[in-house]
Amino acid sequence: MKIKYLSQIPSGKEVIIKDVLGCQGFKHRLYGLGIFPGEKVLVFKNDRGPIILKVGNTKLALGRGQAQKILVEEL
Amino acid sequence: MIKVAVVGNPNVGKTALINYLTNSSLKIGNWPGVTVEKKEAYLNYKGENIYFIDLPGIYNFTPYSLEEKITRDYLLKENVDIILNVLDSKNIKKGLLLTSQILEFEIPTLVVFNMWDEVPPNFDINLKNFETLLNVKAVKASAKKGFGKEEILNLILKLKRENYLKPKFIIFRKEIENILKTLPFKRFINVKLLEGDKDILKEYGPRLKEKDLEKLNSQRKLLEKKYKKEISDIIFTERYKWVNTIVFQSTKGNLDNISDLTDKIDDIILNPKLSPFFLIGFIYLFFKVIFLVTDPFIEYIGHIQDLFSSLLSNINFGKFEILKSFIENVFIQGIGILFSFVPLIFVIYLLFGILEDSGIMARIALLSDRFMHKIGLHGNAIIPIVLGYGCNVPAVLSTRVMSTFKEKLILALSLPFTLCTARLPIIAFFGTTFFEKYKSLLTAFIYILSLFLTLFSLFFLKKIFKVESSQEVLIELPSYRFPKISYVFKYALDKVLDYLKGVTSIIFISLLVLYFILNFPPHADVENSLGAYISKLLLPLFSILDINSWQVILSLFPGFIAKESVVASLKEILSLSHTSLNQILSKKGALAFVIFSSFYVSCVATLSAIKKELGYKYAIFSVMFSISLAFLTAFIFSNVIFQVLNFLNMF
């Protein structure tokens, strides 16, 4: 399976988090929100502006720049 | 007394749960020195006094936001008897990640699976297994549906009676445990020391022997070299593993992607083609409601003020006649100003409460972020800015929606440049007197100038206070729910009291000073008053703006109390000194005066709101800053426009 950036995944697709890049503070923030290597995430909306994810049953909005630091694998 | 600290992720219903447990006796204040809300409640249950403190919702103890610091320090230092760890039953994994860190405080813990009514019927938790695995007490509850209360309260008493259960924290891999074993503090601190947490190292590092500290640092480096990862990452991996094990061993069924009404609504509202319409419609509705509801009340308060004034005028003070105007101008006017904002503040906080509780606020912030981000601001900033164009006071008070102090700071200091409705009479009056043909053009120009100054100020202060360029959004969008009206009402009421407490003194002090300026020495006419003297002193400065009459300058003083009074007092001063505006002010000076008086300072109520939110230092800064910027703007624009119009022969 090909590894992609989260920002490249279209709406409605489920992915597995592979890695989170960036500084320690940023990584820990995402880890606390449930975005951690090995966890499953649903891309709820990815069109314009921030990307909206469903992590477990929590909806999260995160900016495009941040989504470009998250490596994922499509399911 | 049993001290119970309520800890959990944001949006898990902690506040609602405490309200439910204590029969709605929650009190809202602020943590000392910061504007994070502090919520607490007392309950007497079966003869025991229980104190609940609602600690700020957090995800983690690692990157240390203000909320995380407050929660961490409270758990470390305030002798908490019991931690009530609240989880959203639909988001157990995320909740347990925090639980794994909470256990390390080694405080007896009661885990509440809140919102249990919302999990699908095929999902269940085996509480007995869960309790044994963590050595805690656990209970299913729903504050909304009203079950679990007795059980929670009884378990709190039981935890106390049984002489406190010590929770079982995660045992990490051997190499890590071997190091942790050598450290003498609570588990939480030991782990943070090993992770190399700056805050904790600074506080607890010096309590270790120097060679032990060195040893710890070299051991950390060694491990990080071996795994090619930071220790905190290794520890996170173990936490996630632990969470998955706990979920596997104590639950059955699955919680994957429960699609609900929230998803369906979000599908429509967050659609990029439709969302601008929702946003504009929503903001319009928000203001419509505010002014529709508050206008009659504000008028009513005006009547009451008039009534007091007329009552006062009927009292004979005899020799102390001078006291009459003092009471009228300081006390009655002060109370009038103070209370004229009460309906506005109450309604705005009521709406804020409803918007936040229902989950709508997070969507507004998200939708605004698409364009607010372009000017370097978080989406949340839209509400205070738009509010400012109605009234600056609630706008400043609402800057608490900003996530960091610095963002709040630059926003609150820029808001006085938003053109509140109280400034329109000045523009109208000068427009009529000097620029009859271009009156609407002048109004439009001042509005554009206001927007420009607000943005300029934000940009400028960002540089001054070295605020990092705003990060992208990273927010949770909570599920939509019906707000609990009784709670929201109480919240708004608490906020009004908080406002009255915070601003009363500064309003009365300013009125006192102003009264002195305008009425000293006693029995002197306007021309010989202290105010006239000060105004005349300022003449050389204002002549730069082509304002060459002390009467016009004097009218700026009452404008500090309320912008509405600039025009009224100018008229009064003119009639007292038997002159007219056209005689003493040029067109260029008039233009400069309109610009300057629109922006030189908002009003004493706004200033007191700034003092309340940021402290005296920044309130004084705000005055200096807005006066300077207003002066500069008035100078530049009156000259440029005058030159251009002169060239075009339009005057």
We report the CATH number of the domain holding residue A50 as: 2.30.30.90
> Is pLDDT above 60 for B564?
yes
Q: What is the pLDDT of residue B651?
A: 56
Residue of B nearest to A54 (CA): B257
Q: What's B88-130 look like in SS3?
A: EHHHHHHHHHHHHHHHHHCCCEEEEEECHHHCCCCCEECHHHH
Distance CA B126, CA B124 (A): 7
Which residues does residue A71 pair with via DSSP β-bridges, in sequence order?
A5, A19
Q: What is the pLDDT of residue B163?
A: 66
Do the Cβ atoms of A28 and B63 come within 8 Å?
yes
Q: Are A43 and A51 in contact (CB under 8 A)?
A: yes
* d(CA B272, nearest CA chain A) in Å: 7
- Give the residue-averaged pLDDT of A11-35: 91
Place of tokens 């703006």: B545
CA angle B409, B413, B418 (to 5 degrees): 135
The proportion of chain A whose per-residue pLDDT surpasses 70, expressed as a percent, equals 100
Closest Cβ–Cβ partner in A31, A38, A65 for B472: A65
* Contact residues for B216 (Cβ-Cβ < 8 A; gap 6+): B179, B182, B183, B193, B194, B208
> Is pLDDT above 80 for B374?
no
Q: Is B90 touching A (CB cutoff 8 A)?
A: yes
Q: What is the pLDDT of residue B114?
A: 96
Q: How many other β-carbons are positioned within 10 Å of the β-carbon of residue B267?
A: 12
Query: Which backbone phi and psi does B40 adopt, to 5 degrees?
Result: -145, 160
Q: What is the pLDDT of residue B410?
A: 93
Q: What is the pLDDT of residue A49?
A: 81
Q: How many other β-carbons are positioned within 10 Å of the β-carbon of residue B592?
A: 27
Q: What is the pLDDT of residue B254?
A: 83
Q: What is the pLDDT of residue B284?
A: 86
Do the Cβ atoms of A33 and B94 come within 8 Å?
yes
The count of structural domains within chain A is 1
B75 pLDDT band, cuts 50/70/90, is very high
Place of tokens 């059955």: B252
- For B284, counting Cβ atoms within 10 Å of its Cβ (0-12 exposed, 13-18 middle, 19+ buried), the class is exposed
Q: What is the pLDDT of residue A61?
A: 93
Q: What is the pLDDT of residue B59?
A: 93
As given in the structure block, the two tokens for residue B190 are 């030991």
Do the Cβ atoms of B240 and A49 come within 8 Å?
no
Q: How far is CA B329 from the centre of its chain?
A: 32
B35 pLDDT band, cuts 50/70/90, is low
Q: What distance, in Å, lies between the first and last C-alpha atoms of chain A?
A: 9
> Is pLDDT above 80 for B36?
no
The proportion of chain B whose per-residue pLDDT surpasses 70, expressed as a percent, equals 98
Q: What is the pLDDT of residue B173?
A: 94
Q: What is the pTM of this model?
A: 0.83
Q: How many other β-carbons are positioned within 10 Å of the β-carbon of residue B310?
A: 9
Distance CA B4, CA B7 (A): 9
Q: Which of residues 23-62 of A touch B (CB under 8 A)?
A: 24-25, 27-34, 36, 38-40, 42, 44-45, 47-50, 52, 54-62
Minimum mean pLDDT among B64-78, B173-187, B237-251: which range? B64-78
* Contact residues for B45 (Cβ-Cβ < 8 A; gap 6+): B153, B156, B157
Distance CA B352, CA B214 (A): 51
Query: Is residue A23 helix, strand or coil?
Result: coil
Tens digits of residue pLDDT in B148-191: 999 999 999 999 887 678 899 999 999 999 999 999 999 999 99
Length of chain A counted residue by residue: 75
> Is pLDDT above 80 for B499?
yes
Residues of chain B found within 8 Å of residue A44, distances taken between Cβ atoms: 263, 266
- Give the residue-averaged pLDDT of B63-82: 89
Tens digits of residue pLDDT in B191-206: 999 999 988 999 999 9
Closest Cβ–Cβ partner in B90, B98, B366 for A57: B90
Residue of A nearest to B260 (CA): A57
> Is pLDDT above 80 for B291?
no
Minimum mean pLDDT among A2-11, A33-42, B517-526: which range? B517-526
Distance CA B326, CA B511 (A): 10
Q: Are B44 and B85 in contact (CB under 8 A)?
A: no
Distance CA B200, CA B178 (A): 20
B311 pLDDT band, cuts 50/70/90, is confident
Q: Are B308 and B455 in contact (CB under 8 A)?
A: no
The mean of the pLDDT values for chain B is: 89
Q: Are B352 and B367 in contact (CB under 8 A)?
A: no
Q: What is the pLDDT of residue B20?
A: 93
- For B617, counting Cβ atoms within 10 Å of its Cβ (0-12 exposed, 13-18 middle, 19+ buried), the class is exposed
* Contact residues for A27 (Cβ-Cβ < 8 A; gap 6+): A20, B233
As given in the structure block, the two tokens for residue B522 are 């006693």
Which range marks the domain in which residue A9 is found? 3-74
> Between residues B251 and B327, which one has the greater pLDDT?
B251
Q: Which long-range contacts (CB under 8 A, 24 or more apart) does B295-303 make?
A: B297/B343, B298/B340, B298/B343, B298/B344, B301/B336, B301/B339, B301/B340, B301/B342, B301/B343, B302/B336, B302/B340
As given in the structure block, the two tokens for residue B129 are 């297994």
Q: Domains in chain B, ordered, with CATH?
A: 2-161 (3.40.50.300), 174-252 (1.10.287.1770), 275-422+451-507 (no CATH), 525-648 (no CATH)
Q: What is the pLDDT of residue B650?
A: 64
H helices, E strands: number in chain B:
30, 10
Do the Cβ atoms of B230 and A24 come within 8 Å?
yes
* Largest separation between any pair of C-alpha atoms in chain A: 29
B265 pLDDT band, cuts 50/70/90, is very high
Do the Cβ atoms of A28 and B98 come within 8 Å?
no
Residue environment code for B369-387, b if the CB has 16+ CB neighbours within 10 A, otherwise e: bbebbeeebbbbbbbbbbb
- Give the residue-averaged pLDDT of A27-55: 91
* Largest separation between any pair of C-alpha atoms in chain B: 92
> Is pLDDT above 70 for B580?
yes
> Between residues B308 and B316, which one has the greater pLDDT?
B308
B64 pLDDT band, cuts 50/70/90, is low
